[in-house]
Amino acid sequence: MPLWWPLLLASLLFAIGVYAVLVRRNAVLVLMGVELMLNAVNINLVAFDAHLRDQLHGGQTFALFVIVIAAAEIGLALAIVLLVFRSHGHIDVDRLRSLADRDLDPSTSSGHRKLDRPEVRR
Amino acid sequence: MNALLLLLVLLPFASAGLTFFAGHRAEVATKGLSVGASGLGLALAAIVAFPRLGDAEPIGQVYASTSAAGPSIELSLYVDQLSAVMLLLAHSVAFLVQVYSLGYLGDDPRYPSYTALVAIFTGAMGVVVTADDLWLLLVGWELMGACSYFLIAHHWELPVARAGAVKAFLMTRTADLGLLFAIILLGIRFDSYRISTIMSGILEGGFARDELWVPAMLLTIAVIGKSAQFPLHTWLPDAMPGPTPISALIHAATMVAAGVFLVARTYPLFLSAPMALNLLAGVAALTMFLGALYALFSDDLKRVLAWSTVSQLAYMFGALAIGAYSAGILHLLAHGAFKALLFLAAGSVVHAVGSTSMSSMGSLREKLPDTFLTMTLGFGALAGVVPLVGFFTKDAVIGASLDAARDGRLVWPWLAWVLFVSAVVTALVTVAYCLRAWLLVFFGAPAPSAEPALTSEPAPRAEPVSLRDASSLGSSGQATEVAAIQESPWSMRAPLYLLAVPTAVGGLVVAYPDLLLGSEVEYEPLHPDVAVGMTILVALTAGVVVWAARRHARTPWRVPVIPHPQVDRVYDVALVRPVRRLASVVRAGDRDVIDAYANGAGSATRGLGWVLRLAQNGNVQGYLMVVVVGAAALAVAAGVLA
């Protein structure tokens, strides 16, 4: 099997992942994009491992590492998403603007806050 | 003895530190500390000074010295007859002033800092009179200037007090430059800063006449400023808004006396440079008459005394300028005693009346008997009435100036004649203004009870005292009105009587001057012809003044508005305004040039920050977009460049 097949697949997956991370508004779908990117890298690792016939199979080992880290990452991230949902009532990434640098003027900041959390805790 | 001497010099500073520390937290401790330390200082000064009087050998000690390049600067003290009498004078007046201040300013909210500054003032004078190193002397000299600034501005709520303090500080500081340059010149010339070394070098060195005129002239400038002589005399009367005990301290024992002391200390230098002595004699002749003239026409009691100080200091400088060393020193000591007495008594009057204007006084003879008695002695001594101390010393100065005018070699003969005539005329004017002030304060009709006119010093808490006195009297069963004029508390009267003793009988010293200053000094204390002549003239003047006072109801003569010599205006045009203009230029440069850069840096950073914060919009995906695009751009760039 030529090398460029898995590489093509990996770059397609990575591009889809980047697209999802950058564009999707749903936080869960953003996380799915992250997973896609991670797994695209995994494919790369495994493909090069096979292509280079590495005696120690470093590529496969790294892929396992990445899977473990991805599992941990998704666990943590889903917990964050859950908390965001509980506190904000939505998981729309576009509307989560609390980190924006804005004036300390109380009127404007309160306006933002209203935008941020329209309905807190039903 | 040397350890005691060091202790004596350091004691006032230590007590000032402790007083500052105790402050308002323990007011009784503050008062005890300040009075006790000054009493201890007086005792130490007596222990150190009395063995040095007369023909004793001076003691000197070098406690520490630097080993830097050039002549070494030393912490060295030196006490000879002159230092000994000055130590005694300064510490006794300081002690009496501290006791007096208990009554005068004891309830003042700024009493702790006041009394600490008085202690530092005394300590600085102690440093000046005992210093054997010129730099050490300069330290004490400048410390006195700073203390006088703080103490004159004691009532800093008053603009006039602030202005007087700034004026005193600036004028004396300007003149102090003379001392600084003189020190440097002497140090270069003699390769030592030790005064005793320099003076013995001058005595033995065989310098040509006027070879050392530059440092002598510079020193003359310094003492003219410090002792308020003619071109720089205006600060002393303007320093009157300070508390009266401070005036007593400044005028009698410390600040202005330091100028006379410096001339006496460096006397060999002046003797080797008669050019400086000519300057000193001319300044003295002019100043003594000018000061007396202004005392004659001043309505403010304290200003009368201030102008009289200017005039009497000129007597001392006149005596020193014509070579009558011991006459000048004795007049300094006598003046220290009676001027302290006069100022403290004036403070007692002001305390009772609540104003320093003589038009709000009058017929206080019965109401203030103790003050009347002591102040009469003081005025008598100032005027030179026969048995009092001022008579003898002033007679010595006038007699010496007559001798110098006849066959003196130090100053030009015509200048000595001018000095002699000025001294005689000034003595008569002195009689006139003393008598006028005495009559206005203690005799005549009581003052119309109008509100006090413009006064130079705020009435020192007239209400608390009269209230306290009233309550104590009321408790003993006597009804009294609150605003009655009463004699001061004992703490203010006791110093008056203590000072009255040397004022009355101090003249005996003139008969035996070698007891005090040693027998090396060639000196004829008594000039019988001058004494008799002056006594007759004084009596005549007194008669004329009394006749004038009887003829007019209240004041012996109308007070004309005499134009003050416009030295202040000259200073204003020549110094103050250029300095102000320069300051405004500097300020504009600071604001428009230097600040522009600083502000520009600030506003540029702010603008850049404003641009950058636009990116910080809280949208995480936007941030990520930047990251991805940036990474892609880097990757492309790397691919292209590689």
At B461, the pLDDT band (50, 70, 90 cuts) reads very low
- Region B225-246: mean pLDDT is 82
Q: Can you tell me whether residue B518 is helix, strand or coil?
A: coil
Chain length of chain A: 122
Q: Can you tell me whether residue B65 is helix, strand or coil?
A: strand
At B469, the pLDDT band (50, 70, 90 cuts) reads very low
pLDDT of amino acid B64: 81
Helix B27-49 with B2-22: angle, nearest 10 deg: 170
Rounded Cα–Cα distance for residues B617 and B631 (Å): 21
CB A22 to CB B625 under 8 A?
A: yes
Most confident of B24-38, B206-220, B448-462, B584-598: B584-598
**Contacts of residue B628 in chain A, CB cutoff 8 Å?**
18, 22
pLDDT of amino acid B536: 82
Of the partner residues B616, B617, B621, the one whose CB lies closest to the CB of residue A93? B621
Give B 406-445 residues with CB within 8 A of chain A.
none
Residue type for B490, please?
Answer: W
CB A21 to CB B621 under 8 A?
A: yes
Least confident span in B10-19, B513-522, B601-610: B513-522
List the end-to-end C-alpha distance of chain B, in Å, as a whole number: 90
- The answer to whether the CB of A103 falls within 8 A of the CB of A82 is no
CB A99 to CB B624 under 8 A?
A: no
Closest residue, chain B, to A20 (C-alpha): B621
Of the partner residues A21, A30, A97, the one whose CB lies closest to the CB of residue B617? A97
Q: How far is B631 from chain A (nearest CA, A)?
A: 12
Of the partner residues B613, B616, B620, the one whose CB lies closest to the CB of residue A93? B620
**Contacts of residue A21 in chain B, CB cutoff 8 Å?**
621, 624
**Contacts of residue A23 in chain B, CB cutoff 8 Å?**
621
Closest residue, chain A, to B613 (C-alpha): A101
- The answer to whether the CB of B82 falls within 8 A of the CB of B264 is yes
CB A22 to CB B616 under 8 A?
A: no
Angle at the Cα of B260 (from B259 to B261), degrees rounded to 5? 90
pLDDT of amino acid B481: 36
pLDDT in tens, B627-637: 989 999 999 99
Of the partner residues A18, A21, A97, the one whose CB lies closest to the CB of residue B619? A97
CB B621 to CB A23 under 8 A?
A: yes
CB B613 to CB A96 under 8 A?
A: no
**Contacts of residue A84 in chain B, CB cutoff 8 Å?**
none
Closest CA to B624 of B612, B632, B635, B613: B632
Q: What CATH architecture applies to the domain A4-116?
A: Orthogonal Bundle (1.10)
Closest residue, chain A, to B617 (C-alpha): A100
Of the partner residues B618, B621, B625, the one whose CB lies closest to the CB of residue A100? B618
Q: How far is A117 from chain B (nearest CA, A)?
A: 14
pLDDT of amino acid A10: 94
Rounded CA Rg of chain A: 20
Q: How far is A18 from chain B (nearest CA, A)?
A: 8
Rounded Cα–Cα distance for residues B82 and B267 (Å): 11
Rounded Cα–Cα distance for residues B552 and B548 (Å): 6
Rounded Cα–Cα distance for residues B376 and B342 (Å): 9
Q: How far is A55 from chain B (nearest CA, A)?
A: 30
**Contacts of residue A101 in chain B, CB cutoff 8 Å?**
613, 616-618
- Region B517-531: mean pLDDT is 65
CB A98 to CB B628 under 8 A?
A: no
Average pLDDT, chain B: 79
- Region B453-460: mean pLDDT is 49
Q: What is the ipTM of this complex?
A: 0.74
pLDDT in tens, B269-280: 888 888 888 888
B158 φψ region: left (φ > 0), alpha (ψ -120 to 50), beta (else)? beta
Q: What is the pTM of this model?
A: 0.71
- Region A25-33: mean pLDDT is 92
Rounded Cα–Cα distance for residues B37 and B39 (Å): 5
For the purposes of burial, counting CB atoms within 10 Å of the CB of B517, is it exposed (0-12), middle (13-18) or buried (19 or more)? Answer: buried
Least confident span in A96-110, B65-79, B320-334: A96-110
Scored b (16 or more CB within 10 A) or e, B144-155 reads bbbbbbbbbbbb
pLDDT of amino acid B552: 67
At B1, the pLDDT band (50, 70, 90 cuts) reads confident
